[in-house]
Amino acid sequence: MINAYAYPARLETDDEGHFVVSFRDVPEALTDGADRAEALAEAPDALVAALSGYVDDARNPRPLPKPTRARKGEVMVAVPLVPAAKLALHEAMRAQDLNGAKLARKLKQPVTAVRRLLSLDHTSKIEHIIAALNALGRTAELAISEVS
């Protein structure tokens, strides 16, 4: 199973002429910019902030919204590499009914280290996230594509 963390976004202008970015699959994600380029540059951070709300509650994480295809007038916005790997780790844990403490035991790491590894707000080394994914029987691949 391949998980791609890119969501369709709609750009519209508000009454003040700012470009507003919204995501129909992740309605909590909203941002804006003075122009189209600035709004799109802010969009990945807005997406990560909104998706963190789905996974931050360790006792009651919610399933991540599944990305749908872009419709006419929408553009795809990808979650940056490290947060996307962390989202994949959350989904792998959810699929195996693991919490942070169980993952810490599996990785032979302190629970605090695993909490940092899972936090979308914390900077982690990609190789540490991949090691955790591997421990759960998952792998990670990097795909490079042209910017449209």
- Helical spans, DSSP H, in 15-121: 36-55, 81-95, 100-107, 111-118
For residue 129, what are the CA distances in angstroms to 22, 60, 97, 108, 117?
Answer: 29, 21, 18, 14, 7
Reported as a single tens digit per residue, the pLDDT across 91-128 is 999 999 999 999 999 999 999 999 999 999 999 999 99
pTM score of the predicted model: 0.90
CA distance 75 to 72: 9
3-state SS, residue 7: strand
- Phi then psi for residue 38, to 5 deg, are -65, -40
